[in-house]
Structure 1
Amino acid sequence: MRLTTSRSMWCGVIAMALGLALLAAGAYTPWPMWTPPVELRLVPLVLVGLAEVFCRRAPGRGLALGLGGLAFDVVLGPSLAAIVIVTDVLYAVSVHGSKRMSRWLLRGAAAVCVLVALAALLATRSLSGGIVAVVYAGLMLVVPVITGMTVREHRDQAELQRLRAERIAQLADLERQRALSAERARVARELHDAISNHLSAAALHSSAGLTLLDVNNTAVRQSLDQIRSSSQRGLAEMRRLIVLLRDNGTASSPLADPGVAEVAGLVESMKGAGLTIALHISGTRRELARAVELAAYRIVQESLANAVKHGGPGRVEVLLEYGRRELGVTVDSPLSGATSAPSAPGTRTGLTCMRERVSLLGGQIEFGPARRRWRVHATLPVSCMDLDEENRE
C-alpha cells in the first residue's frame, strides 16, 4: 500500500535529518585527489531526501533522484547518509514500482556490482579487494532490490488470497440463495400437492351440496361426508408438513410420506367423489426410493383431482408399471365436452408441480389430450440401490 503525501514528506524530512546528523559526525570518505567543501555535500543529500519523498508515490521519479544523488555523492566521496537513504529508496521502488521496473533494477544493480568488482581489481590489483568491493556493492544495491521484490511477491499473493476468499464467499452466498430458492419451490410444491387437491374437492362437494338442498337429503349427506373426509385428509397433510418444517427434517414426522402402496386408498377415496376409476398394476411390486414413491403418488393424486375438476363423464384408467429400471405412471381420464365449462377454475400449477417433481428425479413426463381423453404419462427412474437389491435376489 502506497503512503499518503504527508507520510511521504515525513519520511523525506526524517531521512534528511539523519543525513545531516551523519554529515556533522563526519560519516563520509573524501577521495585522496581532492577534498570538496562539506557544504557541497548538501546537494546529494537533498536529492536523496527528495527521492525518499517520491519513491513510494512515483517510483520512477524517486529512483531517478536517488541514483542521481548517489552518483553525485560518489563523485564527492561516498557518505554513509547517501548510502543508507538510497538503500531504502531501492527497496521502496522494488515494492511499489512495476514488476518490469523491479526486474530492470535488479539487472542494473547486478551489472553495477560487476563493474565495481572490476574497478576494485584494477585499482588494488588484489583479489581480496575485488571480493570486498563486490560484497559491499551487493549489500547496498542488490540485497534491497531482492528484498523488495520478495515483499512485493508476498503482498501480491496475500491480495490474491483475499480476492479468492471474496470470490468463495460470493459463490457460497449464491449457493445459499439457490438452495433457499429450491427449498421455497419444494415447500410450495408440497403445499399445493398436499393441500390444494383436498380443498378443491371440498369446494366442489360443497357446491354440489348447495344445489341439492331440500331436494335430495341423501345426496347432501354424501356431499357433506366427502367434504369432511377431504378436510380431514388436508389437515393431516398440513400437520405433517408443519412438523417436518419445524423439526428441519431431522425428527420423524407423525405421518409418513405417502407412496405407491397408498394409491389404492387414494383411488377408493376419489371413487366417493363420483369418479369411476380402474387401477391396474403390472410388473413385480417392490419398495422404491421414498422420492420415487412420493412422486408417483402425487402424480396420480393430481391427475385424479384434475379429472374431478375438469373431466367429463366416463371411466378413469390408472396404470402403474414396475420395470427393471423405471416406474411408469399413466392416468387416462375423459375430457369434458367442448361447450361445457370446467367445474373449477384451473391455474396449471398442478401440471407445473408434476413436471418439477419428475425433472428432479431425472425422469420424463408427458400430458395432453389423446383421442378425446386427457392422458398423463410419467416415467420415473428407479434408484441404483433398488437395482442392486434386485440383482442380489
Structure 2
Amino acid sequence: MEFLDRDILGGFSRMGSLLWAAANTAVGLLLWALGASVDRPGVHRLWLLVPLLFVCAALLLRRTRPGVGLTIGTIGLALDLVVVGPSVWPVAVYGDLLYAVTVWGGSRLAYGVVAAVGALGVLGVGGAVLVWPEELLAEGLLGVLSLVGLYVLVFVTPMTSGLSVRAHRARAELERQRAVQVTRMAELDRANAIAAERARMARELHDVVANHLSAVALQSTAALALREFDPERVRGVLRTVRDNSVRGLAEMRRMIEVLRAGEQYEAERVALCLRDVGQLAATARDAGLDVVLSGVEEAGELPARVDAAAYRTVQECMTNALRYASPPRLRVTVRRTADAEDAGEWLVIEAENPVAEPAEPSRTGAWGSGTGLAGMRERTVLLGGRFRAGLNGDGQWRVRVELPIES
C-alpha cells in the first residue's frame, strides 16, 4: 500500500494512479485493435485513440486532483461521442473518473457532480426520445427503459459506489475522532484523579505533620528562651517533644500503611475517630495551649468518613491555635443538629480562639500560608458540607464546619 500511495511527478499523481492509467490504456488499445467502436464515415480509426488517451491520462489525477481529472475526461468523452466515435472503453473509463470524484473529491464537488449527472441523464433521455422517436418508441417502453438502464449502469452506478465508499470513510473517520476524544478524556480523567489524590495526600500529610511539629517548635522555642537552666522544666519540654515526635511518626507510619493497603483503604480510615481528639488536646495542653472540648463524647457514632474529617478538623484548629492564638486558648464545641431545609442530620464543629492583629494585615503569610484552611475546606466540600472561617470582629478567630451525617 505504501508503494501505491507514493507520490510521483512532484506530487502531481500517485504510483497507484499511474499503474491504473497504464492498465486502462492497454485495455483500451486492445479493444481498439479488436474494433470495439462505431466507425464514422470520413473519420480514420486512428483518431479514436485521441479521446482514449485523454480519458486514460485523466486517471493520473483521480486521487490528487479528481475535479481536474474529470474535466479532462469530460473533454475526451465528448470528443469520442460527438466527433470520432463512439467507442467502448472511454465510456467505461469515464465511469471510473466519476467514482474517483465522489470518493476523493470535496463534498461540494462530489455532490455537485452527482446533481449534474442526474440532470444530464433526464435531459439526455428526454432529448433522445425527441430526436429518435421512431427508433426508441418502435420497441415501446422497453426501448426507453433500455436507454435509461444503460445510462444508469455507465454513469450512475460508479457514483453510487463512490458515495457508499465516501460514507463508509466518513463513518470510520468519525469513529477515529471519537476514539481520540475518548483517549483524551481518559487521559484527563487520569490526570484529574492523580491531582485529586495528590491533593488528598497533601491534606493528610499537612494534618499529620503540622500538629506535632508545631508543638515541637513551640516547646523548643520555650526551652531556648530560658534564661536560667531549669532541669524540671527542660525535662518536661523534652518529654513533650519526644511524645509529639513519636505520635507524629506513628501517624506517618499508619498513613504509609494506608497507601500501601490499596483496596483496604476504607477500612483503615476508621482509625481516625472524633472521640480520640482528647489525646490531641492533651498534647496541645502540654505545649502550652489551653484547650476546652465540649460535646465530643455526645456526638456518638459517626460514619467513617465524617468521623475522620471531624478529627482532622479539630486537629487543624488546634495546630492553628498553637501557632497564632494570643493568649493561647482554644474552645471547641461539637454537636449534632437537624437541618430544617433538607430534614437531615448534621455534625457541627465550632472552634474559637483569640488572635492578635498582625502589624501588617495585608502582608502575605501574616497568618500563615492558608494550607490548613484550604485542606479543611476541601475535605468539607468533598463530603457535601459547609465551611466558614475568619475573624468575628472582636478579636476572635472562628471556624465553623458543618458535615452531613449519612443515614
- Backbone CA RMSD of aligned residues: 2.8
2:231 aligns with 217
- Cα distance in 2 for partners of 1:220, 1:253 equals 41
- Cα distance in 1 for partners of 2:174, 2:352 equals 61
- Cα distance in 2 for partners of 1:177, 1:94 equals 43
Choose from 101, 115, 131 the match for 1:107: 115
2:62 aligns with 55
1:372 aligns with 395
CA separation of 1:243 and 1:362: change in aligned 2, threshold 3 A: same
Contact 1:48 1:86 (8 Å CA) reproduced: yes
Choose from 305, 314, 317 the match for 1:303: 317
Contact 1:283 1:321 (8 Å CA) reproduced: no
Choose from 75, 88, 93 the match for 1:80: 88
- Cα distance in 2 for partners of 1:63, 1:14 equals 18
- Cα distance in 2 for partners of 1:79, 1:225 equals 109
Please say if 1:97 is aligned against 2:105.
Answer: yes
In structure 1, give the amino acid aligned to 2:197: E
Structure 1 position 311, deviation (Å): 1.7
Structure 1 position 143, deviation (Å): 0.4
Structure 1 position 210, deviation (Å): 4.1
CA separation of 1:254 and 1:221: change in aligned 2, threshold 3 A: farther
SS at match of 1:36: coil
Structure 1 position 338, deviation (Å): 6.8
Structure 1 position 215, deviation (Å): 3.2
2:405 aligns with 382
1:16 aligns with 25
1:39-89 CA-to-partner distances (Å, cap 9, x unmatched) read 010111121012212233222221122122122212333322212211111
SS at match of 2:295: strand
- Cα distance in 2 for partners of 1:36, 1:337 equals 110
2:347 aligns with 327
- Cα distance in 1 for partners of 2:108, 2:266 equals 65
TM-score where L is the length of structure 2: 0.84
SS at match of 2:272: coil
Matches within 5 A, 1:1-393: 4=7, 5-7=13-15, 8-30=17-39, 34=41, 36-75=43-82, 76-115=84-123, 117-118=125-126, 119=128, 122=133, 123-124=135-136, 125-126=138-139, 127-212=141-226, 215-250=229-264, 256-281=270-295, 285-313=299-327, 315-324=329-338, 325-336=345-356, 346-370=368-392, 371-383=394-406, 386=407
SS at match of 1:288: coil
Matched pairs, number: 378
SS at match of 2:110: helix
SS at match of 1:29: coil
Q: Which moved more, 1:44-53 or 1:280-289?
A: 280-289
User: Structure 2: where are the runs of 5+ without partners?
Assistant: 8-12, 339-344, 360-365
Aligned-residue identity in percent = 37
Structure 1 position 256, deviation (Å): 4.1
Structure 1 position 12, deviation (Å): 2.6
1:208-240 CA-to-partner distances (Å, cap 9, x unmatched) read 334459633222222222112111110111011
Structure 1 position 348, deviation (Å): 3.0
- Cα distance in 2 for partners of 1:103, 1:3 equals 28
SS at match of 2:264: coil
CA separation of 1:315 and 1:77: change in aligned 2, threshold 3 A: closer
- Cα distance in 1 for partners of 2:103, 2:67 equals 12
Structure 1 position 28, deviation (Å): 1.9
CA separation of 1:103 and 1:308: change in aligned 2, threshold 3 A: closer
Structure 1 position 35, deviation (Å): 6.0
SS at match of 1:321: strand
- Cα distance in 2 for partners of 1:312, 1:28 equals 110
1:289-333 CA-to-partner distances (Å, cap 9, x unmatched) read 322222211121111122222222364211002112321111112
1:131-151 CA-to-partner distances (Å, cap 9, x unmatched) read 222212111000001111111
